[in-house]
Structure 1
Amino acid sequence: MPKLRSETFGSGDQSWLGSTHGIANARTSTLTLTAFTAATHYPDGYIPSGTAVNAADEGATVPFTGAEGEALGFILTDAPVDGGAVAPVPVLRHGIINVANLPGTFTVPTTGAAGFVFVGGAA
């Protein structure tokens, strides 16, 4: 008997986008899934759209911490996590971000956020 599973495809909740500016220019990055914590980053089996990432190395994208040298990006669409070590995702590198609608907890960084305008929250 084949091992079957069902999947649902969609873009996720993109209410964190303050406009459509930048979405056509999202760059493909490879998430290093071992850097993400299941209970924190993907309790529902996917990393949600709007998750802040450090996109300084597009071949090894990890969660954004605000440390020196990081380059802020946001995962544009939900990223399913299915037992792999890496996953390709579109990452928004510039645009308008509605902070109040981002998933999880996010603090607007003082450095490393070039290209972003933050609205609708603590900026």
Structure 2
Amino acid sequence: MKTLQEIPIEKAAPVLKLLGDKTRLTMLAMLYEGECCVCEFTEIFKMSQPSISQHLRKLRDAGVVNEERRGQWVFYSLNKDNDLYALAESIIMQLPSQIGKLEELEKNGNRVIWCG
């Protein structure tokens, strides 16, 4: 993993542009707390599955998140091996924790826990 000083501006700018979107920035902060399924994001953001998937595709294509299919579910997690992880993490650390959103999902029985 590279330190913040070693990230070329040409690589940082597109990711910063992606994170300029409130939904994607919130998604990243949530993923910092743990992996999430697409259906959890649809519940939290009250958005359609295609809209959520489009946001996640952009983050995945930039290498910021990993995608893993498990049965009928698709889970996302932060890509800690990406050269830009240090940049993403430094931004996330400036944001309020999103753990409450995940705890609310769990309380309401909408948290997907993979046991396979």
> Which TM-score tier does this pair reach, normalised by the shorter chain?
under 0.3
Q: What's the TM-score, normalizing by structure 1? A: 0.23
Higher relative contact order (CA 8 A, sep 6+): 2
**More helix as a share of residues:** 2
Q: What's the TM-score, normalizing by structure 2? A: 0.24
